[in-house]
Structure 1
Amino acid sequence: MQRIRIQRELLKTLLQSTQVRLVVFGLGITVLVGTAGYMLIEGWNIIDALYMTVITLTTVGFGEIRPLSESGRIFTIGLILAGVGLITYGLSSAIEYVATGEVARVIKARRQYERLMAMRDHFIVIGYGRVGREVATTFAEANVPFVVIDSNPAAIERATEEGYVCVQGSGTDDEILLEAGIERARGLVACAGNDATNVFAVLTARALNDRLQIIARAIDEQSESKIIRAGANRVISPYVLGGRRMANLAMRPHVVDFLDITSQASGQEQILEEVVIEENSALTNQTIAEVDLRRRTGANILALYLPDGQWISNPSPSMVLMPGTRLILLGNRQQLNETEELARAHTSSSLP
């Protein structure tokens, strides 16, 4: 099945070539001219004329179905020359199309488009510089779907080579953002190399999707308030973040190492994650003691982020878990997945 699908893609891609299309069109015109010519010159019916045209163009050598007049022979010579020329040109164009890598490029672009159209609840990364590459790498390691937008062809080529879905263009352009599926997206990360681009990207994205979670980069400290007013939920300054990290490494290196491990690890290692409690889930309106996640899934509740924006660290066992509460958990991937399943809305679910 895979081989058949690849062959179909190859044929479809070849037919998109201008040269191959011209050859197909030229062969069609030649068949019509040949059929009409035999009908007019030799007085044959349409079936005989079409049959003679086809065997002449394909040079299969079946011979004449009827004796030809002198005019018919001259016409046949011209038909053979036209057919051989068109077929030769078509074959050379197809070989050149494959040899130059154009077929592979078109097939890859079509597959990327299909992946993009299938995306839901994904992230859009604007800018594939040093910061954008780190964001993309982190998303890829966590198996989070995302699209990269950049106007630089070299950056798009690098992202494509990494296997990422890309859209070339400006992140401030409505059409580019719509092509990246912003209406279906979960969030956007604006990490272009200058603040003006990030401001306009945030402003445009917010206008297209008012439910979008938007994280933006700010180089200049004075730009943070502008980006927030444009519609960003959070603004990150790489310089401020880097300075704080260096200070924390100097004062409490093992804490920083622990946070790095728990935010990046996978598999059986312990990682930090947040899970939202949905309405009518198995955890809704239950106390932490009643839920007993440590026994049920093995995950540990470190903190709660309540719907009213309040943070509660090391919550009491008597704390009631309301819909919309975000659990900050520590556990391995399997434990976190089981907890996330409990937090989803299931009308028939109940705790034992």
Structure 2
Amino acid sequence: MVRRPPEETGETTERLGSVLLPRPDISPQRQVARRLLAALAVLWVTVLLVYLDRGGYVDNSDSDVTFLDCLYYTTVTLSTTGYGDITPASDSARLVNILVITPLRVLFLIILIGTTLEALTDRTRQQWRLNRWRSALRDHTVVVGFGTKGRSAVQTLLSTGLGRNQIVVIDPHGHAVKTANAEGFAGVEGDATRSEVLIRAEVQRAKQIVIAPQRDDTSVLVTLTARQLNPRINIVAAVREEENAPLLRQSGADQVITSASAAGRLLGLAMLSPNASSVIENLIQQGTGLDLKERPVTKAEAGRSPRDCPDLVVSIVRGHRILAFDDPEAAELQLTDRLVVIHRASRKGPEADIPRGGLR
């Protein structure tokens, strides 16, 4: 039997069904300051209203209602103390008390007990945010595992222009999900081998999923579950051992990356040819120096040789086959082909990439 990784729990202010949505982090001091300023604003608006209509009020101690009397009346009224020594006597003053001052009194009390009220309404607010997030989420990317591999994959996706709101992280550890949440990603805490956890991440509507857990058996189970929930999703999975790669492909993965053997090959290359290993390291780091990318053939390139392209063509993808740039079958590019090319990260667009001869 395959052992699944344990699911740890953790407290968070944005938890709802183990889904965490990013939000601005406001310190307690700022929250208290905001409420104090709002309370003072309500207090002074009420003082102004009473002072402007001071002729409609009666002071039992004397007949003159001063500004101090207005301030005193406002404080005892908003705090619902109400000693009764100053009272509205005219119809206009009473009408203002009914229509304006009473709602201000309620608002003042809400501000004072804002912490308690916020706690009571927090779940409703979270449910509303979660429903809005789910309704807007389409063709997004799910990343299973926010460890070293998962974070590197996320950084590469961000460097290609993918927005943070289009990435959902799944991890069984609460601290990893909190870290992803703090970086602006929606997070789901749970075991990704369980279908309900993947459903929380809306994998059934996702465009692609990156599977990078700590164990190979977990990768296989997540791949099987994701493929069952979304037959059209593009699955890229990582395994530690090369012998598990065929099993992962049979489980439904479109691309399988063997992390241990890939790292070993890079180490061996660094020993034999340090400069070549540096170039490869540069290529796999998106957004710096040279980038390796896949793009479609343009109309201007169709019917021409790969050597005539403005980019340095590495391979040609034709159907389900990958052809080398010097393959006789790839001597003439087709409009339906896709090219794996090297281009400069600092320049945008296929026509502005590496000039012909710039890398040759």
| TM more than 0.5 | yes
Q: Structure 1 residue 155: deviation in Å?
A: 0.7
Partner amino acid for 1:187? Q
Whether contact under 8 Å (2:241, 2:260) holds in the other structure is no
1:274 corresponds to: 294
Distance in 1 (alpha carbons) for counterparts of 2:264 and 2:138: 36
Partner amino acid for 1:188? I
CA distance 1:130–1:109, change in 2 (3 Å)? farther
Q: Structure 1 residue 158: deviation in Å?
A: 0.8
Whether contact under 8 Å (1:172, 1:200) holds in the other structure is yes
1:253 corresponds to: 274
Distance in 2 (alpha carbons) for counterparts of 1:309 and 1:275: 15
Superimposed CA distance per residue, residues 234-274 of structure 1 (whole angstroms, 9 cap, x where no aligned partner): 3223222221111011111111211222332537x432211
1:203 corresponds to: 224
CA distance 1:320–1:158, change in 2 (3 Å)? same
Q: Structure 1 residue 190: deviation in Å?
A: 1.0
What percentage of aligned pairs have identical amino acids?
23
Matches within 5 A, 1:1-352: 63=88, 90-95=110-115, 118-145=136-163, 146-266=167-287, 269-277=289-297, 282-283=299-300, 285-288=302-305, 292-294=308-310, 299-314=311-326, 319-333=331-345, 337-339=349-351
| Cα root mean square deviation, aligned | 4.3
1:25 corresponds to: none
Q: Please, what TM-score do these two structures have when normalized by structure 1?
A: 0.59
CA distance 1:96–1:63, change in 2 (3 Å)? same
Distance in 1 (alpha carbons) for counterparts of 2:287 and 2:257: 25
CA distance 1:215–1:248, change in 2 (3 Å)? same
Whether contact under 8 Å (2:159, 2:286) holds in the other structure is no
Q: Please, what TM-score do these two structures have when normalized by structure 2?
A: 0.58
1:16 corresponds to: none
The 10-residue stretch of structure 1 (143-152 or 308-317) with the greater mean CA deviation from structure 2:
308-317
Distance in 1 (alpha carbons) for counterparts of 2:156 and 2:131: 22
Secondary structure of the 2:113 match is helix
The 10-residue stretch of structure 1 (314-323 or 106-115) with the greater mean CA deviation from structure 2:
106-115
Distance in 1 (alpha carbons) for counterparts of 2:253 and 2:330: 35
Distance in 1 (alpha carbons) for counterparts of 2:262 and 2:124: 41
1:37 corresponds to: none
Greater relative contact order: 1 or 2 (C-alpha under 8 angstroms, separation 6 or more)?
2
1:13 corresponds to: none
Superimposed CA distance per residue, residues 83-119 of structure 1 (whole angstroms, 9 cap, x where no aligned partner): 98x8787444314677x9x98x998997787667545
Partner amino acid for 2:343? G
CA distance 1:331–1:152, change in 2 (3 Å)? same
Secondary structure of the 2:199 match is helix
Partner amino acid for 1:192? P
Partner amino acid for 1:287? R
Listed as ranges, the gaps of 5+ residues in structure 2 are 1-23, 25-76, 92-101, 353-360
CA distance 1:208–1:57, change in 2 (3 Å)? same
Whether contact under 8 Å (2:315, 2:324) holds in the other structure is yes
Whether contact under 8 Å (2:219, 2:237) holds in the other structure is yes
CA distance 1:283–1:109, change in 2 (3 Å)? farther
1:36 corresponds to: none
Partner amino acid for 2:294? E
CA distance 1:190–1:318, change in 2 (3 Å)? closer
Whether contact under 8 Å (2:238, 2:258) holds in the other structure is yes
CA distance 1:234–1:62, change in 2 (3 Å)? same
Q: Structure 1 residue 148: deviation in Å?
A: 0.9
Secondary structure of the 2:222 match is helix
CA distance 1:215–1:265, change in 2 (3 Å)? closer
Listed as ranges, the gaps of 5+ residues in structure 1 are 1-5, 7-55, 67-79, 341-352
Distance in 2 (alpha carbons) for counterparts of 1:333 and 1:316: 30
Count of matched residue pairs: 260
2:9 corresponds to: none
Whether contact under 8 Å (1:216, 1:236) holds in the other structure is yes
1:28 corresponds to: none
